[in-house]
Amino acid sequence: ASAHLGRLAAAVLAQVRDVVVEHEEELGRLDAIAGDGDHGIGMRRGVDAAAAAAEAMAAAGSSVARVLTAAGEAWSERAGGTSGALWGSAVIAAGLALGNRASYRGEDAADAVTAFTAAITELGKAGPGDKTMVDALLPFRDAFLRNLDGGTQVAKSLAAAAVAAQEAAEKTSELRPLKGRARPLAEKSLGHPDPGAISFGLIAQRISTYIDS
Ligand code: ADP
Ligand code: MG
Ligand code: MG
């Protein structure tokens, strides 16, 4: 059972890589408005390395914890930049939360999402309204946990959470950045969404579509 979940984790990371590659240029353009323009290439470098590390671990029959910790380490190492460090630590945290068990239930998914979110807020120290990926991440986590608590199955809870993340990411257009590189160019950023929030929403949507298929 644990090797099966390791293979699922590697397949999910391959989907994450594909959606980042599809949107690489768009994410770069968005980051160039008030940041340094490298969000697309940074995400791609990180996720390329993460998906490759995950695939190698999964092929060797590793547990989901080992697949995700190897992926997160590769992501941080290869991405460079703020978002790479945050994504890498979050993927590692989700892997450690899942551990190496014989079987998994809905509450394990809740633990993984909670750990993923906490890693990003603890490392980046951004809060709601700072105009970062956290503005998409917190609504994602809240919608996921609320749906699971209400008895909704994991795939449907994920679908609801992905919608919440994408809506919240679009709404960051209204915010001025208070954290990260975009802060000095805050006025330029008004009217445009935060790149890290947009990439998170795209990734959440892709994972949800994949899990539901
Ligand atoms: P860099 O800013 O180092 O060039 P990227 O361009 O890859 O890195 O990522 C920028 C994104 O990182 C921002 O759009 C924002 O969503 C996210 N970000 C920046 N600082 C923080 C932070 N302290 N906490 C959470 N997310 C952050
Ligand atoms: Mg950047
Ligand atoms: Mg940069």
Confidence of residue 80 (pLDDT cuts 50, 70, 90): confident
The pTM score is 0.96
- Ligand at shortest distance from the CA of 82: 1
Q: In the predicted model, is pLDDT for residue 146 greater than 80?
A: yes
Cα(48)–Cα(18) distance, integer angstroms:
9
Pairwise pLDDT comparison (160 vs 103), residue with the higher score: 160
Nearest-CA residue for atom 24 of ligand 1: 124
Cβ–ligand 1 distance for 122 under 6 Å, the answer: no
Q: What is the pLDDT of residue 178?
A: 78
Measured in Å, residue 183 CA sits from the centre of ligand 3 at 13
Cβ–ligand 1 distance for 131 under 6 Å, the answer: no
Nearest-CA residue for atom 27 of ligand 1: 132
Cβ–ligand 1 distance for 135 under 6 Å, the answer: no
Pairwise pLDDT comparison (95 vs 2), residue with the higher score: 95
Measured in Å, residue 12 CA sits from the centre of ligand 2 at 24
Cβ–ligand 1 distance for 175 under 6 Å, the answer: no
Q: In the predicted model, is pLDDT for residue 2 greater than 80?
A: no
Looking at the predicted complex, does its ipTM rise above 0.95?
yes
Q: What is the pLDDT of residue 181?
A: 66
Confidence of residue 73 (pLDDT cuts 50, 70, 90): very high
Cβ–ligand 1 distance for 88 under 6 Å, the answer: no
Q: In the predicted model, is pLDDT for residue 86 greater than 60?
A: yes
- Ligand at shortest distance from the CA of 46: 1
> What is the position in ligand 1's atom list of the atom closest to the CA of 126?
24
Nearest-CA residue for atom 12 of ligand 1: 83
Contact partners, residue 194, CB within 8 Å, separation at least 6: 131, 132, 133, 135, 136, 169, 172, 175, 177, 182
CB-based burial label for 163 (10 Å; 0-12, 13-18, 19+) = middle
Q: In the predicted model, is pLDDT for residue 1 greater than 90?
A: no
Q: What percent of the chain has pLDDT over 90?
A: 87
pLDDT digits (tens, 9 = 90+) for 164-207: 999 999 999 999 877 776 666 778 889 999 999 999 999 999 99
Measured in Å, residue 24 CA sits from the centre of ligand 3 at 14
